[in-house]
A and B are shown apart, each in its own frame.
Chain A
Amino acid sequence: MEGAVEFDLTINGQCAQAHAGMTVVEAAWRNGVPRVRGVGCLEGVCGSCRILLRHDGEVTVALACQTFVQPGMEVVFLPPQSAPRHHYDIDEFEDSWSIQSRFHEIFPEAARCRHCHGCVVSCPKGIKVEEAIMLAATGRFRDAGEMFFECVMCELCDNACPEQIAPAHVGLFCRRITAHFHLRPPNLIHRLEELRQSKQGRGSHD
């Protein structure tokens, strides 16, 4: 690292100098690049610092805090994703038998995946998004949700999807439904019951 050589790249259209080992965020700060607003956790979990990269004739998307600079790279920070178009209230689900039909009402596009791999190629976490969407569409919510375990909700897959399936939100739906209906841990339930009987707890917050 010591004495590393400097090279040029462009960030948001501005020429910037950096050296190997720096991330795109570090380079943007060092060069005072304007309009860099999506930076947050700096460890790849908040999913905010979405960038478009042009390098060696290839165009890709990534998270800036996890991307190391390379000579000649062109970086553009992407604006935040617009608000989701799919709406549901998890408390409105009566019971778990109807989830599959409700799922298709809420996410009608999910059954229309055209297997273009756009989502998979975009995902900075290497999630098999396309496969997971298939599982969700056939009602395998637990398995689908598990595949999204490392999803940081950057919504780059939503950005890429030509069918507007909103894969990131499908993934989260699958995970939430699984916990909401199926996570019933005996040790927790037992303690809640003890507290209810002894009125020690403040009672429920719902």
Chain B
Amino acid sequence: MTRATQAISLAEARARYQPDAELAPLPAMIDPDTLLAAFHPDHLRGSVVKLVIGANAGDSCQHELADLLQAEAVIDEADLAGTPVTDCDVLVIGGGGAGCAAALAAAERGASVILATKLRLGDSNTVMAEGGIQAAIEPEDSLQRHVQDTLRGGHHAGDPALVAAMVEDGPDVIRWLIRQGMQFEQTAGGNLHTRKAGGLSTARIVHCRDYTGLEMMRVLREAVIQHRAIEVWEQSPAIELLSNERGQKCVGAVLSSLADGRLRIVRTRSVILATGGIGRLHLNGFPTSNHLGATGDGLVLAYRIGAKLRDLDSFQYHPTGLVYPPHLSGKLVTEGVRAAGALLLNADGQRFVDELAPRDVVSAAILREVRAGRGIRSPRLDKERYGVWLDTPRLERAQPGLLERQFPKLLGRTRGAGLDPRVDPLLVHPTLHYQNGGAVIDVDGATTVPGLYAVGEVSGGIHGRNRIMGNALLEIIGFGRRAGVAAISDRDRGPKKVTLEHVNRMRRALTLAGMPMMRKAPQVLPPYAGGVWGR
């Protein structure tokens, strides 16, 4: 992925490192667009192809994802014979924050809900979120500023109507979360504590130390489990959607079981896809911060039933994924650490980028340093990895006790490997973090296919081509709840017949385009964990 012949070794760099070394001033920045074009992984040659079939035919798409979008289904009609059928009002697919918020919103309004999720309920990207959630609540802040920051951060590719909807939900989302029992950090005066982050014009991120996602997820998980109208099916990945006879409306889904591979059909008025992101596709060979279930299943299912997707060539590589210790490869060090003042240093011990520039710019700058031989080489048994320093010891010197107070997760995670960020700088490298695009939706989370909603990371349009910190957690709750409400207002009496007509349609398109039909999707689990799913 990245070549760096002259890079020095971790041991050598560690020996050279001094937390009080004098730093040269930051060199003048080159134009961000030039930097992105030269170094951002989205622009790597050969990484993007044009889609040939489906609602986005002709659009650019990362090739690993294109292979899955233009693949055969894993089941056909013969598999459905004798499969047990369950009816409910709303089927939610995915048990992260978006799925739980949607299920609760629908259930609170009297709907019968099934929430089916691939792994354990709450096993998700949501539970790992650290930094926090945006809401414009400070006196000097406003909804307008939040909208502007979001659109600017997304390089003005976001949909202003969706952004406005997310932003205006902000303060009420926080209130709703508190009502569910979520705690947030407070100031001495009782206000919610807010922090700033890259791309924000003012402090707007509320948080629960660096465990915001864990706190959110355990509370929502408990609320869902406790709710009488929600039935939870764990270890039950959705492997296909179901359509009406004409293949034009989504009327349910086929769920498999990780335990015994048996299929179940759920027949319903509306399906809400909340399957999260794609990190485990390891686009361009990158490590990822995502959980094991982030294999882009939702995009595959939505595309096959005809939903339009967007921005499939735009992914977020978070600048600070851990390189060392190896078992935490790709795992995130929250941007909050840089927001608190931690600097990035190359192998020469010098700064090379404004640490709080937008994420894509910071990532591109790190990749440039590594490619120019100013990276640090980490020992690995499989393949060599490179990185730069995140200078946490210097931060600790400047603000003693801060890391322990505000970043207990960071300290706890590295402790097991004998690393202390208060003394040891952290070796970091960009890590595949977030799917900027996804299913096209309206302000209710409705996709272009009737009966099918998409919320959370699987949807697109809000973050344009670059997400700023804290907007994902806001979006999943705001849009999750919007979709939960909208999904039950559609009062038609539900499907008579469930079919795989859309699967047949896709198969015909594949044949016509002369495309190989060997590959099947969704993937459900990455191949290296496939020993599990494969048998």
Contacts and interface: CB of A to CB of B under 8 A. Distances in A.
Contacts of B46: none
A141 B496 CA distance: 50
A152 B214 contact: yes
Contacts of B14: none
Contacts of A176: 180-182, 219, 222
B179 A180 contact: yes
Contacts of A99: none
B535 A177 contact: no
Interface string A154-186: 000000000000000100100111111001111
Interface stretch (B358-366, B367-375, B405-413): B405-413
A48 B120 contact: yes
Contacts of A26: 327
A19 interface: yes
A151 B218 CA distance: 9
A112 B435 CA distance: 49
Given A41-B123, A42-B331, A201 B172 contact: yes
A105 B215 CA distance: 25
Interface residues of A, number: 70
Contact of A83 (B189, B225, B416): B225
Contacts of B328: 43
A121 interface: no
Contacts of B211: 45, 149-150
Interface string B442-485: 00000000000000000000000000000000000000010001
Contact residues of A: prevailing secondary structure: loop
Interface stretch (B48-56, B78-86, B420-428, B525-533): B525-533
Contacts of A71: none
Interface stretch (A27-35, A51-59, A132-140): A27-35
B535 A34 contact: yes
A45 B129 CA distance: 10
B34 interface: no
B218 A201 contact: no
Nearest to A178: B183
Nearest to B531: A32
B180 to A, nearest CB: 7
Given A21-B327, A46-B123, 10 more contacts: A33-B531, A68-B327, A80-B120, A90-B223, A91-B179, A150-B412, A178-B181, A180-B181, A185-B186, A195-B168
Interface of B: 105, 108, 119-120, 122-124, 127-128, 135-139, 143, 165, 168-169, 171-176, 178-184, 186, 189-192, 194, 209, 211, 213-215, 218-219, 221-223, 225-227, 234-235, 258-259, 291-293, 325-328, 331, 379-381, 408-409, 412-413, 416, 481, 485, 528-529, 531-532, 535
27 contacts: A1-B326, A21-B327, A34-B531, A37-B235, A41-B123, A43-B331, A45-B409, A46-B122, A46-B124, A48-B120, A68-B327, A80-B234, A80-B235, A83-B225, A89-B227, A90-B180, A91-B179, A175-B183, A176-B182, A178-B183, A179-B219, A187-B138, A187-B139, A188-B171, A188-B174, A190-B137, A205-B173
Interface of A: 1-2, 4, 19, 21-23, 26, 28-29, 32-48, 65-66, 68, 80, 83-84, 87-91, 125, 145, 149-153, 169, 172, 175-180, 183-188, 190-192, 195, 200-206
